[in-house]
Structure 1
Amino acid sequence: MPSDSSAIRNIGIISHIDAGKTTVSERILFYSGETYKMGEVHDGLAVMDWMPQEQERGITITASATTCRWGDYRLNLIDTPGHIDFTIEVERSVRVLDGAIAIFSAVEGVQPQSELVWRQAERNRVPRVCFINKMDRAGADYRQTLAQIVGRLKARPVLIQLPVGEEASFSGVVDLLTEEMVTFDEHDLGKSVIRGKVPEAMIPEIEEVRLKVTEAAADFDDEVMAAFLDGKKVPAEVLRRALRRGTLAGEIFPVLLGTALRNKGVQPLLDAVCFYLPSPLDIPPIPGHHPSGGGEERLSCDPNGPLAALAFKVMSEEGRRLTYLRIYSGTLKGGASLLNPARGAYEKVRHLFHMHSHRREEIQQAEAGDIVAVTGFQAALTGDTLCDPAKPLVLEGVTVPESVVSLAVEAKGGEDRERLDTVLQYFQWEDPTFKVHEDKETGQTILTGMGELHLEIVIDRLRREYGVQVKTGRPRVVYREALRRPVERREYFQREGEKRPEIAELLIRLTPLPRGSGIRVAVPPPAPPVSRELLAALEQSALEACQSSCRTGYPLTDLEVRIVEVPLEPGTPFPSEATFRAAARRGVVMAAREGAPMLLEPIMSLELELPVESLGKVLGTLQQKRGRVEGLDKRGEVEVVRATVPLAEMFGYMTDLRSATKGRGSYTMEFQRFEEAPPQVQEQFGL
């Protein structure tokens, strides 16, 4: 039996919307004995989709964590959303996962959101096994899906199963490593797995494909290579060991087949998770930085090491926080006092839980490698590090994607007004992509999120969970400002001090950067009387100034802000930090106004699926919306159009698409980049 940490698998399920993530999760819980009845997404009864909004819409909105056992192994499983508006749930999940199951539909293949979540996993170096689902559906073609994994994802899939039967006659799989046929008893919902001899007619194909598996495994094991070159058959266990090495290295991806809805193929998938995906002990030591600037330290998965954990998700339950942690080092116990270096705060663990979706199982302690939830924290947010106060350390945080749609809201009554700000603060704890600010001109509260559905869910939760009624405006695009030319400005700022006027002087240089660079702030090295703390305050104030914009109310981006000098006249009183902060904020804004500001608009990547006869009409509607077609593909009876289009043109587009395709068209889109808005849009904003 494996040791405790080596028997843990921290895994997530990632895919495009409607590829079957939650259905696979429900089967995993059922076959592992965690639940005694399968919940179905289409019935609104899935355990992992517990929010009313998820049950009504049949989609996953929030990542749900659960714990179950499979043989000697304990799986910490996170079911992630597939809709682009909730991509932060995938981002923060893959940040703390050791491995993932990537699910693809055998009919639709590699879809746009499949590519996005694959890139997220790639960026976080998460090993994956692939599951081609819906093998029983008409038009299922696993070979096409494999080709798309190679072509679109630039990955190397290794097929370790073959299907028995096609489409409606799909009845099981052939395990290419053991050369057995695997079927699933329909009388007990597929719980009984039956292994037997392979059909005679399939033997030549099995031998041919098994040879390809051996060839892939040979790249990672000398014993397999020698046997492959000698033409010998390699035992299943030796092949498995070699494939595991390649999977952990992120160079190959084992592929399994099945149909979760028809209860076929999930148990071999669970075996593959245990065989091929890493335990916490297989993960390289992770870097941590000392908050005081004392260098880097690498932490291995050691229960006896210094405690370090990452808060990757916060949930609000009537104003109380439930914080999800991935423990990377040390042992965490109930009642422990921890340091949050990012907030400069101490947090106390009141209770410690393993989660089963929204149900809790209280535990007394958790060790390195585990994923748990705690109550009692007051300040921690997504991406914060919690550590031993005696050994402060900061781990790498979570990448937060751009929020591109905003909505004005107004409380309906006095009681609603009193509660609105408080409840919106709860939502901001939970979701780093959800932002709230007040429009200084109108006094309205502006909500900003990832898309129309994201904000629609927020409004629905305000009403249902907290009884707050609001009136809403129309969704609006969130633009950005950028500069056309570099500019340098010497800023003098005077304010009344406690005893005498204070004057702070700064030399500030703004330099435009390439698209997608974001904001960079550079400060000179500290030299008396300018301290490191004052320079950090100037850096923070410059960032705040970029967020407040210079002309249109939208944040600045793609800009380097350099504090070139902090000149001080000998013998003059040293201004306060507050005076320097004000000088930095004003200096950045005034300099930006001199740098020929322009407006950037969000451009979305769009993929449409539509009947062939509607293609001409749909291409016409795209042209009217300033869309650029980048590719056309045929997928069975469906035409697939890939295009880019400004977000400003996409509000209400589903109505246009349904009209053009007689209700048979659908689309998915994701944020791609910001680019300069056309002159007519610039003029609307006075630029």
Structure 2
Amino acid sequence: MGLWTRSKGLLSSASAAKLLASVRNVGIIAHVDSGKTTVTERMLFYAGLIRSCGEVHDGDTVMDFLPDEQARGITISSAAISFDWSGASVNLIDTPGHVDFGIEVERSLRVLDGAVVILDGVAGVQPQSLSVWQQAVRHGVPRIVFVNKMDREGASIERSVQSLRDRLGCDPLVMQLLSPLQEGSSSADASFDIIDLVRMERVQYPQYLRTPLSVPSNASPAKEKDIWDNAVHLRTQLIERAANLDSVLADVYLSAEDPVTSVSPESLRSAVRRITISGSGVPLFAGAAYRNIGVQPLLDAVKDYLPSPLDRPPVSARLVPSGKLMKKGSPDPQTNIGMPCSKDGPALGLVFKIVYHEQRGSVAFVRMYSGQIAAGQQVAVFSQQFLPSNALKRTDETSGTSAPPLPVVEHKERAHKVMKIAAQDLLPCESIQAGEFGAIIGLKHARTGDTVYAAVPGPTGNSKMYLPSLLRVPQPVFWAAVECESSAAESVLDSALEALCREDPSLLLQNDAETGQRLLCGMGELHLDIARSRLERDFHVPGLRFGKVHISYRETISASRSLEHSVAELMSRPVRFFIALHPKVAEGAEPADNGHLISKVSVDLISAPTNLPEKLREDVGDIFESAIASSLLRGPLLGYPVVGADVAISNVMLDDNLTNASRDTLEPLIRTAVAERMMKLLRSKDVHPRLLEPVMEVVVVTDNQNLGAVVSDLTGSRRACIKDIGFEGAECGGNDNSQNRVVVADVPLQCLVGYTTTLRSLTSGRASFTMEFSRYAICDRNSEQKVLLAERGFV
């Protein structure tokens, strides 16, 4: 299956391009419980890859193979598999829908050429639908939409289309019409047929029969005439909308006497393909995967409308800087190179996932953009470090601009084995070529977002290239202490935690400097519970102790303070400097977003007085930056990281004996001085330290009868700010009071502990909710005092 099994010999350029043109690298993305895994399972069944369809509720699906996935009935980890469909080689990734595992969607979309967005036909666009859509837009991934669960009461294509318009700003191209079953139909499982508006054919289920949709005769039932008239009307609309988006079809449309009959299926299909690949439009399909309706036309759509690797723009690579720049900063932006998808170029691939295997060790999942990597080949792995969204930023006053990005680090590795991916199975192959997904065994240092590279003779010579990491790692908002019973098992625990964090970049491991505890930070209680389960089951950590899950707070300042520090004599080498601390947000103000969390350090070594020689300024600036970053890791209230504080360093003076000192001599002096001054500043009441708490956007779906109880509970002790109350699908034009109601609110995370049980009790199990991190906000004084007392052990 997949491109890698097509040929064991050498292919001509034309043959290789023809094979690449048939490849579809596609992902399934959606809100949780929209039916992603069910759709995927049917795809594999109809493609002939499996003999029977597994079900999520039975825990026997191919793609949800992890024990936790089977036990909980949700997708936790993205899974890849390859199959053939109607002459196309489809490499498919099924992604999670739960918000705790959003990093899986992020890193999958980074390497996909196209995506299938699945909507619930009743609920329409849901919170995580919006999130994954925005991720796909950011990565420039062309999309098609599949409205699932159309067999459910209340499902509607029209409302789903309106939901896409109102919530996503997308006016989709409706490609199908759902038709009630014809009288006398023998289908016991299907509740409707599908009218293909491109071919003007009726698609019948469950046999998947295609029959022409013809003009009814006078003897035909009135219902059939209505279906024909509606199909003609919708096809005309489809052609008109497509002609507005595609100039080639516009010429055909304007010259046609009757667009319905004159515009051929081939012309319309080609136009919709161009529209989809350009991102100017999104085709929409519908069905009910659980009842086996609509999956084959969806597979046809993947082949017909989503791009091949050759249809995508050349990936933008950068030349790796050499010498000092390799250690210090970034390459010149002018060195960007567009790399076309070709097996003849240098081997260039992106590691989009790391998986720990008990026998094989770390396995790197790679998308190849150029060239090929064979088993046993030596490669270079380039790691570009990145900071979280609230990280410290440095302004270098020597140039007045932001300091260069973090360095690119090279590791020489060997690809001991290359494999193709089939869900939980890894199958040996000879090489992974451009346009393919594959797995590499033997890359000990590779992390998600790293580049795998191997040069070939050609125009680039021995130049080394890497792919910039565009991965956005979300803020972890929960943490738990992790330890083991015996000191002998600590090495096992440390290795397991390191491997787990390599697998999942949204897990963050920290060490408490005071207690020595290992703190594992994650996106939610479920996220950390899965991590605990894996440490026990997959990594076999003996005597694992997983502490209580805590909320991850932040600390900030709300007033300015400055100090001039003078070390009279420290090893006979005094250092003096002026340090000032300023809040990003003034006291009493409430920031609208997380921009205030980004701290900035400026080191003025030009305009302010200094006796630093030119050769030392760069090193001294680096030392101050690193020392300040370390000082901001522990705040004065509870020891949480300090954010939203700008630090200014100026008037740096060295004793005459130090003007020719080395970096190794200066670093401990500066670090000690900065640590002392920062501690004094942060613990000063003059800076008015405050606690920041994570605020979540909560969406509750409940029946009308329990709406009052839900809202009352949220606005009471949970301190919720209600943003919207409406009917489920109200943005789609629904106004039926019997529908479920939707409550959208911002709620502090500490007020949501145990909310699942409370909501179930309030509504007798007839309500559900989702939550997603929104921002950090300053705690009110009463809540802050309660948190301080509780965290310090007084409650």
Q: TM-score, normalised by structure 2?
A: 0.80
- How far did 1:571 drift? 5.7
Q: Give the distance between the partners of 1:119 and 1:229, measured in 2 at CA.
A: 35
Corresponding residue for residue 50 of structure 1: 65
Query: Could you say if the C-alpha distance between residues 142 and 464 of structure 1 is closer, same or farther in structure 2, counting changes exceeding 3 Å?
Result: same
**Is 1:323–2:364 an aligned residue pair?**
yes
Corresponding residue for residue 639 of structure 2: 553
- How far did 1:148 drift? 0.7
Q: Give the distance between the partners of 1:278 and 1:491, measured in 2 at CA.
A: 61
Match of residue 432, structure 2, among 366, 385, 396: 366
Gaps of 5+ in 2: 1-14, 182-187, 215-223, 384-408, 456-461, 585-590, 607-612, 729-737
Corresponding residue for residue 745 of structure 2: 643
- How far did 1:84 drift? 0.7
Match of residue 676, structure 1, among 778, 792, 795: 778
**Is 1:69–2:161 an aligned residue pair?**
no
Corresponding residue for residue 189 of structure 1: none
Q: Give the distance between the partners of 2:270 and 2:129, measured in 1 at CA.
A: 28
**Is 1:402–2:494 an aligned residue pair?**
no
Q: Give the distance between the partners of 2:576 and 2:314, measured in 1 at CA.
A: 45
**Is 1:481–2:481 an aligned residue pair?**
no
Q: Give the distance between the partners of 2:67 and 2:90, measured in 1 at CA.
A: 26
Deviates more, 1:445-454 or 1:408-417: 408-417
- How far did 1:599 drift? 1.6
**Is 1:268–2:297 an aligned residue pair?**
yes
**Is 1:282–2:311 an aligned residue pair?**
yes
**Is 1:112–2:127 an aligned residue pair?**
yes
Q: Which amino acid aligns with 1:295?
A: D
Query: Could you say if the C-alpha distance between residues 588 and 382 of structure 1 is closer, same or farther in structure 2, counting changes exceeding 3 Å?
Result: farther
Q: Give the distance between the partners of 1:350 and 1:103, measured in 2 at CA.
A: 38
Q: Which amino acid aligns with 2:502?
A: W
Q: Give the distance between the partners of 2:303 and 2:651, measured in 1 at CA.
A: 57
SS in 2 for 1:529: helix
- How far did 1:608 drift? 0.7
**Is 1:200–2:272 an aligned residue pair?**
no
- How far did 1:540 drift? 4.4
Match of residue 304, structure 1, among 339, 344, 353: 344
Q: Is the 8 A contact 2:246 2:275 kept in 1?
A: no
Q: Which amino acid aligns with 1:299?
A: G
Q: Is the 8 A contact 2:605 2:651 kept in 1?
A: no
- How far did 1:543 drift? 3.7
Q: Which amino acid aligns with 1:161?
A: Q
Q: Give the distance between the partners of 2:353 and 2:632, measured in 1 at CA.
A: 27
Equivalent runs, 1:128-139 vs 2, <5 Å: 128-139=143-154
Q: Is the 8 A contact 2:201 2:210 kept in 1?
A: no
Query: Could you say if the C-alpha distance between residues 9 and 582 of structure 1 is closer, same or farther in structure 2, counting changes exceeding 3 Å?
Result: farther
Q: Is the 8 A contact 2:574 2:654 kept in 1?
A: no
Equivalent runs, 1:115-514 vs 2, <5 Å: 115-165=130-180, 170-186=191-207, 192-197=208-213, 199-229=224-254, 232-233=258-259, 234-289=263-318, 290-291=320-321, 292=325, 293-296=330-333, 297-300=336-339, 301-318=341-358, 320-342=361-383, 343-388=409-454, 390-397=462-469, 398-412=471-485, 417=490, 419-468=492-541, 469-490=543-564, 501-505=572-576, 507-508=578-579, 510-513=581-584
SS in 2 for 1:313: strand
Corresponding residue for residue 35 of structure 2: 20
Structure of larger gyration radius: 2
Deviates more, 1:480-489 or 1:317-326: 480-489
- How far did 1:299 drift? 2.7
Corresponding residue for residue 8 of structure 2: none
Q: Is the 8 A contact 2:29 2:118 kept in 1?
A: yes
- Over residues 139-171 of structure 1, what are the superposed CA-to-partner deviations in whole Å (9 max), with x where a residue is unaligned? 211211111111111112111111122898633
- How far did 1:81 drift? 0.5
Q: Is the 8 A contact 1:502 1:575 kept in 2?
A: no
Q: Give the distance between the partners of 1:226 and 1:653, measured in 2 at CA.
A: 58
Deviates more, 1:203-212 or 1:128-137: 203-212
Q: Is the 8 A contact 1:133 1:259 kept in 2?
A: yes
SS in 2 for 1:55: helix
Q: Is the 8 A contact 1:506 1:584 kept in 2?
A: no
Gaps of 5+ in 1: 187-191
**Is 1:529–2:615 an aligned residue pair?**
yes
Deviates more, 1:536-545 or 1:47-56: 536-545
Deviates more, 1:79-88 or 1:408-417: 408-417
Q: Give the distance between the partners of 1:21 and 1:115, measured in 2 at CA.
A: 16
Deviates more, 1:332-341 or 1:79-88: 332-341
Corresponding residue for residue 576 of structure 1: 663
Q: Give the distance between the partners of 1:585 and 1:393, measured in 2 at CA.
A: 39
Q: Give the distance between the partners of 2:55 and 2:380, measured in 1 at CA.
A: 42
Q: Is the 8 A contact 1:220 1:245 kept in 2?
A: no
Query: Could you say if the C-alpha distance between residues 432 and 620 of structure 1 is closer, same or farther in structure 2, counting changes exceeding 3 Å?
Result: same
Q: Give the distance between the partners of 1:29 and 1:586, measured in 2 at CA.
A: 62
Query: Could you say if the C-alpha distance between residues 334 and 587 of structure 1 is closer, same or farther in structure 2, counting changes exceeding 3 Å?
Result: farther
Query: Could you say if the C-alpha distance between residues 380 and 559 of structure 1 is closer, same or farther in structure 2, counting changes exceeding 3 Å?
Result: farther
Query: Could you say if the C-alpha distance between residues 601 and 38 of structure 1 is closer, same or farther in structure 2, counting changes exceeding 3 Å?
Result: same
Q: Is the 8 A contact 2:76 2:96 kept in 1?
A: yes
Query: Could you say if the C-alpha distance between residues 310 and 531 of structure 1 is closer, same or farther in structure 2, counting changes exceeding 3 Å?
Result: farther
- How far did 1:592 drift? 4.7
- How far did 1:211 drift? 1.8
Query: Could you say if the C-alpha distance between residues 124 and 494 of structure 1 is closer, same or farther in structure 2, counting changes exceeding 3 Å?
Result: farther
- How far did 1:508 drift? 4.8
Q: Give the distance between the partners of 1:504 and 1:326, measured in 2 at CA.
A: 51
- How far did 1:501 drift? 5.0
Match of residue 604, structure 1, among 676, 681, 696: 696
Structure 1 segments of 4 or more deviating over 6 A?
Answer: 493-496, 524-527
SS in 1 for 2:632: helix
Q: Give the distance between the partners of 1:450 and 1:465, measured in 2 at CA.
A: 21
SS in 2 for 1:17: coil
Identity %: 35
Q: TM-score, normalised by structure 1?
A: 0.91
Q: Which amino acid aligns with 2:727?
A: K
